[in-house]
Chains A and B, each alone.
Chain A
Amino acid sequence: MRREFWINTVLIGGLLGVVVLAWLLDEPFIITLSTKVVIFALAGVGLNLALGHGGLVSFGHAAFFGLGGYAMGILASHAQSFEPLQLGPLVIEGSKSMPVIWLAALAVSALAALLIGSLSLRTSGVYFIMITLAFAQMIYYFAISWPAYGGEDGLLIYVRNGFPGLNTLDPIQFFLLCAAVLGVCLFLVDRLVKSRFGMALEAARQNPQRVTSLGIDPYKVRLVAFVLSAAITGLAGAIYADLNRFVSPAMLSWQVSGEIMVFVILGGVARFAGPLAGAALFIVLEHFLGGLTDFWQFWLGLLLLLVILFARGGIIGFLAGERRHG
C-alpha cells in the first residue's frame, strides 16, 4: 500500500512537473495535452467507481460523457444566441458560466444513469455490458438525427465558458481548474470507497447473495454507485467539450466508451490513480506513437493485451507489485 502511495505521488507530481515546465518554456500545446489527460482521467475516475469498485462493466459511459458535453453545448449555444431554451412552460436561460454548466451536466447525466441503470442493473455479466452499450447507441443515434443542435455536425461554441475569478482562455489557468476538479473527485471517490457505502458496494461485487441475506439490497447499492459514476463522467464530458469548444455525436460513440474503459483497465482497475495513469499513457501513445505511425492503435492494443494477460492490476498494480482483486 505504501508503495502504491509513492507511485501515485510520482505520477501526480510528474504530470504537474511537465505542465510547469511547459508553462516556463511557453509550450501551450503541452499544457493543453496535459489538460486532456486530466479530463480523460476524470471520466475514468467515474467509470472506475462502477467498473472497478462495483464490478459493473458499463460499456455505455460515452452516453454520460456525451450528455455532459451536450449540457455544455446546449446551454452555451443558447447563451451565445441570446435565445432562452423553451421546455414547454419552463424557460431556461443559456449560460456561459462553468459552475452552472457543470451542475447541469451532473444533473443530466445522473438522471440518465438513474433511468439506464434502473433497467440495466436487473441484468448482469455480458447482458449488462450489451444493454448499457445499447442505451448509449440509442442516445448516439438520437443526437445524430436531431437537427436542433447541429445533428451530425455538432455544436461549435465560439469562446470557452468562464469560471468566476479565472481566465479560462489561459491554458495554464484552465489546466489548474481541471486538475482541481480531478483532485476533488479523486478525494471524494476515495472517501466513498472507504465509507460504509463503499464497503457495501465492494461486498455486493464479491457476493450479492450474502449482502442480501444481511438485509442490504445490492440493487440499490449498485444503482447509487452507477448514478454517481455517471455523474462524474458527465462532468468530465462537459469540461472536455469546453476544452475543444465543440461537442458532437462522436462524444457519444461506443469508441469513447471503449476508450474510457481502456484508461481504467490500462491504469489499474479499482486503483486510486489508475484512471490517471491510464489516460496519461493513452495520450502519450496517441501523441508520440501517432506521430511515428498511423497504426499506433495496433501498439495500444498490443499493450492492452499484455496488461490483461500479465499485469491484471494495470500499470499501477504492476508497479506496486500486488494484486488487489482479479
Chain B
Amino acid sequence: MVETVLSLQGLSKNFGALAANNEVNLDLKQGEIHALIGPNGAGKSTLIKQIAGEITPDAGAVYFAGQNLNAVRSVKRVRAGLGRTFQVSSLITEFTVEQNLMLAVMGAQQRTFRFFKRFTQDATLRQQAQHHLEQLGLQGRSDVRVSQLSHGERRQLEMAMALALKPKALLLDEPMAGIGPGGTKEMTDLLARLKAQVPILLVEHDMAAVFALADRISVLVYGRIILTGTAEEIRNSPQVQQAYLGEEAP
C-alpha cells in the first residue's frame, strides 16, 4: 500500500454566497504526480491557499503526513515539509539569484538568527545554494539580479528554491505558465524526474503537460471535484468533456 502524504477531507470554503470549494476530497500519494485541472474560477487557487495555510477552510481539514494542519500556521506547514511555488512568481527581486537560493537554504536549515557572520562568507550556505542552482541549470546566472531574469528563469528559480527546502510534498501552481514550448519541455522532464523524490500536486492549464505527467488527475468544476482518475479515464469521460475539455480541446 502506497503511503498517502497529503489528504484533503471535505474541504469547503465560501466567499459570501459563492462556494469556492465544496466538500473537496483529494489525496496525494508517495511517488505520484496528482494534477488538478479545471476551468478558470473553478476554485483551484482557493484550494492551494487552503493547503498552504493562507486561507482557513470553513469546513473539512487538511491532513499532511497524518497530522491535521487546520491550526498550523503557513510558516510551520513549510517547516513540516510542504513546499510550494506561486502562480505569479514570488521572489526577492532586488536579490541576486544566488541570494534568493541562499535564503531558501537558510530556511531549510532553520538557522536565521545569526547576527554577525557575513552571509557572503558563509561557505555552507553558498555551497548548497550553488548545488541547487546547478540542479535547475541556472549556473552562470548566479550573480544576476532577479529583476533582470526572464520569466522562464524566474520559474526555474522558484522551483530551485522550493527544492532547496527538501519538501515532503510540492504544491506547484501553474509552473508551465508563460515559459514557452522549450521551457515547458524542460519543466516536464524535470517534474518527471522529481516525482520519485517528492510527490507533486500540480495545478496546470497546459493539458499536454498534464496528460504526459500526471498519474492521476482530478477535475474541479464550480468548487467540486467531479472526477478523479487516470489520464485515460479523464480523457474518455463525457462529464469532463462537457464541463471542461469541450471548451478548450478540439
The chain A residues found within 8 Å of chain B, CB to CB, are 191-192, 194-200, 202-203, 206-207, 209-217, 221, 224, 325
Contacts and interface: CB of A to CB of B under 8 A. Distances in A.
Contacts of A217: 75
Nearest to A324: B94
A312 to B, nearest CB: 14
Contacts of A224: 113
A209 B78 CA distance: 12
Given A214-B107, A216-B106, A195 B116 contact: yes
Contacts of A211: 103, 107
A302 B201 CA distance: 56
B93 A215 contact: no
A323 B130 CA distance: 28
Judged by DSSP, the binding face of A is helix
Contact of B114 (A197, A202, A206, A216): A197
Interface in B101-116: 102-104, 106-108, 110-116
B90 interface: yes
Contacts of B99: 199
Contacts of B95: 202-203, 206
Which 5 residue pairs across A and B have the least CB separation, nearest first? A214-B107, A215-B78, A215-B107, A196-B114, A215-B79
A316 to B, nearest CB: 18
B117 interface: yes
B240 to A, nearest CB: 32
Contacts of A221: 112
Nearest to A192: B115
B102 A199 contact: yes
Contact of B103 (A191, A200, A325): A200
A301 B52 CA distance: 47
Contact of A194 (B79, B118, B125): B118
Nearest to A204: B92
Given A212-B78, A214-B78, A215-B79, A192 B116 contact: yes
Given A196-B125, A199-B119, A213-B86, 9 more contacts: A195-B117, A196-B106, A196-B112, A196-B113, A198-B119, A199-B99, A207-B92, A210-B92, A221-B112
A203 B74 contact: no
Contact of A210 (B90, B106, B108): B90
A206 B94 contact: yes
Nearest to B102: A199
A216 B75 contact: yes
Contacts of A210: 90-92
B91 A207 contact: yes
Contacts of A195: 114-119
A200 B90 CA distance: 15
Nearest to B108: A215
A196 B92 contact: no
Given A206-B93, A216-B106, A197 B113 contact: yes
A194 B108 contact: no
A214 B125 contact: no
A191 B107 contact: no
A203 B102 CA distance: 11
A215 B165 contact: yes
B3 interface: no
Nearest to B111: A196
8 contacts: A191-B118, A197-B115, A199-B119, A202-B95, A212-B75, A215-B79, A216-B107, A217-B75
